[in-house]
Amino acid sequence: MKKFLIIGLGNPGIEYSKTRHNIGFEILDYISSERECKFETVKLADITKFKIKGKTVFLLKPNTYMNLSGKAIKYWMDNQKIKLDNILVISDDLNLKFGQIRLRKKGSSGGHNGLENISQVLGTENYSRLRIGISNPGLNQIDYVLGKFTEKEYKSILKICPNFNNLIESFVLKGAELTMNNYNN
């Protein structure tokens, strides 16, 4: 049976809830709600699972801080025997306009410390990643990414959330290439 691991990057703790840097967690919370599955806190992560046409899909929110996410991802890939081709990491991206999405099968970290750590721990940059634009207004970068979404921004994210449910289903059933062609904007 094929297994997939969808990872949302973020930082644990209520103080980071609804921050731009935690957009990966927000997306997984939306998907788990739509799929009616609940996260459990287990080793190194909050995790849940559901099926898409007989394929098991795990949603993973690492409990390590974002810059150490690779440890949790590697543990769960090994634990569940999930191939590198079957993982998708969801992260924020300052270099994309707000709400823009970009799916890639591989690539550099683009300066994102969470992606950098994942690449180091996995020993490769050849894993799929879905970047979600949070813009870069030229403010202090750390304050901006760790800042809460404005009400307008949060409503904008909620509006595009259904796309992520469909994107994940496409990734699982059709693979990264076809999904990239259909969803990159």
User: What sign does the CA torsion over 21, 23, 26, 28 have?
Assistant: negative
Which residues does 154 contact at the CB level (< 8 Å), separation at least 6? 18
Q: How far apart are CA 117 and CA 128, in angstroms?
A: 15
Q: Are 20 and 157 in contact (CB under 8 A)?
A: no
Q: Which of 21, 61, 102, 131 is catalytic?
A: 21
In SS3 terms, 59-119 reads as: EEEECCCHHHHHHHHHHHHHHHCCCHHHEEEEEEECCCCCCCEEEECCCCCCCCHHHHHHH
Q: Are 129 and 8 in contact (CB under 8 A)?
A: no
Containing 46, the helix (H) or strand (E) segment is strand 45-52
Q: How far apart are CA 91 and CA 32, in angstroms?
A: 17
Residue 21 a catalytic site member: yes
User: What amino acid positions are annotated as catalytic residues?
Assistant: 21
